[in-house]
Structure formats: C-alpha cells, structure tokens
C-alpha cells in the first residue's frame, strides 16, 4: 500500500520509502503502521547524491529482541539466506554512535565503495573529518537486505560496531554465494572491502 500522507519530498523519495516499507513488511521486521510515521521525515532527506554507491536513505528497523542471526536470515543472495555465528550480542557495542531506540531513517548513505581498501581506522578519521557516521552492523545488514547486489560489487566493513572489545564486524559472501556476518581482529582491509557511512539518522523516537 502506498503512502497517502501529504509531503513535499520528491516523488523518487516517496517511491523508495514505499518500497522499503513493503520489504520490511514482507520480512516481518516491522508493520506499515509502525513505519508510516517516518514518512514525515523525508522532507529532511536530499533526493540527489553525486557518485555511484550513493543512496538517499534507507529505513532501519529497531525491534526489541531482534538478534543479528535473525536479521541475517532476511538477507538473501541468489536464494541463499544470510548466516552468522555471532550470538553473544552483549559483547557488541556501537561506540560514539547515537542510535534511535525506534525505527529510523539512515540518510545520505555512501555504500562503502568510496572507501575500498582503506583501513577501518583511516575510514573513521575521514568520517569524523567530514561529519559523517560509520554504519553499524544492524545498518549494514539492513542495507544488504534491501540491496544484496551491493555484496556482488564489494564487501562491508561495519566500522560503527565493535565486537568483543576490539574486533571488527564485516559482511561478505562466504564462498561467494552465502551472505555472512563475521568478526576479524586488526586494523586491516582487503581491496574488496569498504566501510559504508551516512550523513545522519532521522527518527521520531528518543536516542
């Protein structure tokens, strides 16, 4: 069902919003009633972004008790559902990130291709310099759920999240066919890995 709330955002953003809302409904990650209020935030989103790998916004579902392994099952690449063996989520933090408690829009996204092969520490410095925010694991998983073809182009270093104190979470294709959320040690990035980022997080709920 399309949104019917009056809004001055461009039609391209409204169309993308409806597509994202329907994807969340089908994945049973959120209902239309829960997501539709976020439509009012589209007026704060820029419709045009220069360069490949730029996404105006995406909707991030926030639900109590939604573990990474469940989120990963919603990522499908050529019919193969995503996998992770990271279950001890009490060891996962999003340092220095203001994450809304409820569903929100992640706006002004760069999907990581602009940071291919760049060390995570350097990416974090660049994000801070230009007023951007590193994507968290939940955000990266959701991006891949909406657009799994990103993983065909490159893999994701999710520098907004830290696991077990000093491990980086990354999203890649295991055997080039299965979406996989894993954790690695060290400040290292292979040429096919990039760190996605965003301009900000828009929400109607508290942080």
Confidence (pTM)? 0.92
What is the Cα–Cα distance from 81 to 76, expressed in whole angstroms?
4
pLDDT at residue 103, rounded to an integer:
96
- State phi, psi for 197 to the nearest 5 degrees: -150, 170
111 membership: H or E segment, kind and range = none
Report pLDDT for 8: 61
List all residues 6 or more positions away from 72 whose beta carbon is below 8 Å from its beta carbon: 81, 82, 83, 84, 141, 179, 181
**DSSP labels, 18-30:** HHHHHHHHHTTS-
pLDDT (0 to 100) of residue 6: 46
pLDDT at residue 54 in the model: 92
In the chain, the N- to C-terminal Cα span, in Å, equals 29
pLDDT in tens, the chain (207 residues): 334 344 667 888 999 999 999 999 999 999 999 999 999 999 999 876 666 889 999 999 998 788 999 999 999 999 999 999 998 887 888 888 899 999 999 999 999 999 999 999 999 999 999 999 999 999 999 999 999 999 999 999 999 999 988 899 999 999 999 999 999 998 988 999 999 999 999 999 877
Spatial distance between the Cα atoms of 120 and 194, rounded to a whole number of angstroms: 8
Phi, psi at 169, each rounded to 5°:
-90, 140
Q: Which of 198, 131, 201, 196 is closest to 157 using CA atoms?
A: 196
For the chain, give every domain's residue range: 51-203
134: β partners? 197
Tell me if 121 sits within 8 A of 129, measured CB to CB.
no
Beta partners for residue 181, in sequence order = 84, 171
Contact yes or no for 124/201 (Cβ under 8 A): no
């Amino acid at each position: 069902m399309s949104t019917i709330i009056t809004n001055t955002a461009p039609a391209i953003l409204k169309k993308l919003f409806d597509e994202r809302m329907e994807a969340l409904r089908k994945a049973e990650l959120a209902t239309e009633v829960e997501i539709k209020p976020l439509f009012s935030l589209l007026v704060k989103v820029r419709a045009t972004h220069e360069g490949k790998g730029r996404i105006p916004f995406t909707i991030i579902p926030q639900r109590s008790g939604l573990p990474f392994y469940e989120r990963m099952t919603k990522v499908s690449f050529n019919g193969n559902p995503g996998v992770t063996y990271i279950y001890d989520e009490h060891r996962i933090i999003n340092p220095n990130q203001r994450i809304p408690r409820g569903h929100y829009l992640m706006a002004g996204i760069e999907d990581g291709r602009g940071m291919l092969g760049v060390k995570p520490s350097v990416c974090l410095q660049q994000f801070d310099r230009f007023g951007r925010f590193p994507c968290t694991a939940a955000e990266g998983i959701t991006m891949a759920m909406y657009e799994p073809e990103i993983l065909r182009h490159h893999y994701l270093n999710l520098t907004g999240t830290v696991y077990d104190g000093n491990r980086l979470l990354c999203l890649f294709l295991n055997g080039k066919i299965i979406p996989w959320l894993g954790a690695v040690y060290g400040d290292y990035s292979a040429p096919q890995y990039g760190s996605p980022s965003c301009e900000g997080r828009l929400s109607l709920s508290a942080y």
